[in-house]
Amino acid sequence: MEFSLSSFDGAMPVEVTIDEDNGRYMIRKSDTSGEFFNTPNELIQWVKSHFREDEFCHPQEFHGMLDRLAEYEMKDV
C-alpha cells in the first residue's frame, strides 16, 4: 500500500509506504528526509501524531489515506 500526497511545504510529494511482502514501512517527507519503522502500526501511529490535514494540498487525499490506514489496522486486529 502506497500513498503520495502533495504538501504545501515542498515540491516533492510525501510518500507513505506499507509493503508487507518486503517488510518496508516508511515515510518520505516533502523535504526528502524520511522515517523508517519496524511495523506498520508504528508507521500509522507516527502519521496520526505528526501529519495534519492543513499540511496537504488536497485534504480529501489525506483523509482517504487515514481511512485506508484505519481499515488496515482493523484487519490486523
Q: What is the DSSP letter of 54?
A: G
Sorted by sequence, the CB contacts under 8 Å of residue 42 that are 6+ apart come out as 25
With bands split at pLDDT 50, 70 and 90, how would you rate the model's confidence at 77?
low
Percent of the chain at pLDDT > 70 equals 97
- At residue 18, the pLDDT reads 97
Over residues 7-28, the pLDDT tens digits come to 999 889 999 999 999 999 999 9
